Chains A and B, each alone.
Chain A
Amino acid sequence: MMWLTPSESEALHLSLAVATRSVVFSLPLAVILAWVLTRRRFVGRTLLDALIHLPLVLPPVVVGYVLLLLFGTRGVIGSWLQSTFGIQLIFTRSGAALATAVMSFPLMVRAMRISLENVDRGLEDAARTLGAGPFDRFATITLPLMLPGILAGAITAFSAALGEFGAVITFVSNIPGETRTLPLALYTALQSPGAEHAAARLAGLSLTLGLAGLLLSEWFARRVRRMLGR
């Protein structure tokens, strides 16, 4: 993109890459958890629900700190990942994706739950009487009918992932080309004397992205509603 400086372009690409990775990996898990929380009654359901929603109410820095404890090089999971698979999350864009995924996960699950609650269970019963087993019903009836919620959840989470700051900077630091996403680049510009113009451009870029995301989400939602005949 010729109208962006190399560092702006780098931050933009990085943001998009991190947000995409974050959404792609958390989406299947969010669908499963939304289904479990909506349709199943079990001991510990409320606790699981609370854990998923925790990032909404915690300061992002705390989430970043907890991720450091767990996924850092000496953390329980982090050291295991390092020794078994050679995967390092700290100071990498994969780590940034993990941090944004955790932060945006509750938004994604919420949107899906609302949509799943609106799925008429009578239709699933009808599918049963037509010979569809549990997985068949889920794949052919439940999933398509909750598609509006899945799309809404994915788009909301993607937008939130683009803007995540606190958890990212705490967990993976602010490394140009690796973890310096748009908000981190904006923060860096604000900290540097004489970079007011650069900061304004980055803010404008974020604004454009956010607006595009919202419009795209509305357009998608309309198409899906039409497809479902509502």
Chain B
Amino acid sequence: MLTVAVAKQRGAFALRVHFELPTPGVVALFGRSGCGKSSLVNIIAGLLAPDAGSVALDDFVLLDTDRGINVPPERRRIGYVFQDARLFPHLSVAANLRYAQKRAVGAPYVSLDAVTGLLDLASLMDRRTHQLSGGERQRVAIGRALLTQPRLLLLDEPLAALDGARREEVLPYLGTLRDQLAIPMVYVTHDFDDVLRLATHIVLMEAGSVIAQGAIGEMSLDPHLRAIIGPDEVGAIIDGIVLGIDSGTNLTKVRVGHGELYVQAMGLAAGTALRVQLLARDIIVSTQIPQHLSVRNSLAGVVTSIQGDDLDSDLVTIDIGAAQIMARITKAATRDLSLRPGMKVWALVKSVSLRGHSFAAPTPDSFKAAASAASRDA
């Protein structure tokens, strides 16, 4: 469990943050540029001193201003991947990695060979750092941070400086780390795509404060998130489970809540966790069992709430059993269908976005409990 409760005043900007992350897990610190995300990770790393507060990782207290505890960064055992990689220019890739390895304390859980393998670094070892591409630099930086055998990995917008293709040189590796090493990560980003691909939890920040936090599934329907990413990007994010391949259509059958979806995915074994995103604008609501339609995917559920989204449309939340989805429909449709909470409906899914697979088993609801406890304290 990572517990952070800190306050820092910087001129007119006030940072006041309280959040908890069950470990292992990947928490995305998400918010617009300048909301204090980077200051927060620097405080967790120990590079920036808060005015007051505490930071603790499990029973290891890193900072407690009341008790006068402030472990220096070099003894916190927190790996830090900077946006600009910060590889040492006077050392080769191999020497950069060994720099971290030599200074590691505690029982190593990941070897140089393992890191080299996980991040595909073998062919880069003899290079000088200025001979690397942006994506390669970040992979080396991640490997270097891992070799300190950290108890927590901080990533401060590691992909922000990379273009689309280069991002793909790094993102899959981060997924591998999450699934294979089970190392807790705090991932700072202002790009929602990163969140979709990696995060198990979201801490939403605005102007130095946490405005919402929770597991990604519930946060995907949060109105605060909608305000940041915009109505067209809103939609349920659900970690489904692959059931198998449908022999007739060659589509992959995925269990989502109590329903099933057919998606185009290659070679996923039954039992694999598959994250899907169902955008609210891609969902049609029907009050009858859908028939004679070109849309194949439908999920049965019960309306739990209807909120006005803007002047013309409503957001309808539908419980599909063990998960919730959201549909954006016109107010006229809400009226014509006489939609109200408790009604049984069918959600027709026009398209399903796949957001990565082989996620670790869904984390328990401890985060939700911790988050609500945290907001009570605050």
Contact = CB atoms under 8 A, between A and B. Distances in A.
A125 interface: yes
- Majority-rule SS of A interface residues: helix
Interface string A103-140: 00000000000000000101101111111110010001
A126 B80 contact: yes
A110 to B, nearest CB: 23
Can you list the 10 inter-chain pairs with the closest CB atoms, starting with the nearest?
A: A131-B103, A229-B130, A126-B86, A129-B80, A128-B73, A130-B100, A144-B90, A229-B89, A128-B74, A229-B128
Contacts of B46: 128
10 contacts: A120-B86, A126-B82, A129-B47, A129-B80, A131-B74, A131-B77, A131-B148, A132-B74, A132-B103, A229-B131
Given A126-B86, A229-B131, 8 more contacts: A123-B89, A125-B86, A128-B73, A129-B76, A131-B77, A136-B103, A145-B90, A227-B90
Nearest to B84: A122
A66 interface: no
A122 to B, nearest CB: 5
A131 B74 CA distance: 4
Interface residues of B, number: 30
Interface of B: 45-47, 72-80, 82, 84, 86, 88-90, 99-100, 103-105, 128-131, 144-145, 148
Contacts of A131: 74-75, 77, 100, 103-105, 148
A228 B89 contact: yes
A16 to B, nearest CB: 30
Interface residues on A, range: 20 to 34
A141 interface: yes
Contacts of B144: 130
Contacts of A132: 74, 99, 103
Given A144-B90, A229-B129, A128 B104 contact: no
A123 B86 contact: yes
A9 B79 CA distance: 60
A130 B99 contact: yes
A157 to B, nearest CB: 23
Contacts of B130: 229-230
User: Which of A120, A133, A229 is the most central at the interface, judged by chain B CB atoms within 10 Å of its CB?
Assistant: A229
Nearest to A141: B88
Interface in A134-160: 136, 140-141, 144-145, 147
Contacts of B100: 130-131
A120 B103 CA distance: 21
User: Which of B79, B86, B104 is the most central at the interface, judged by chain A CB atoms within 10 Å of its CB?
Assistant: B86
User: Which of A120, A145, A228, A230 is the most central at the interface, judged by chain B CB atoms within 10 Å of its CB?
Assistant: A228
Contacts of A227: 90
Contacts of B80: 126, 129
Contacts of B78: 129
A115 to B, nearest CB: 13
B58 to A, nearest CB: 19
Nearest to B90: A144
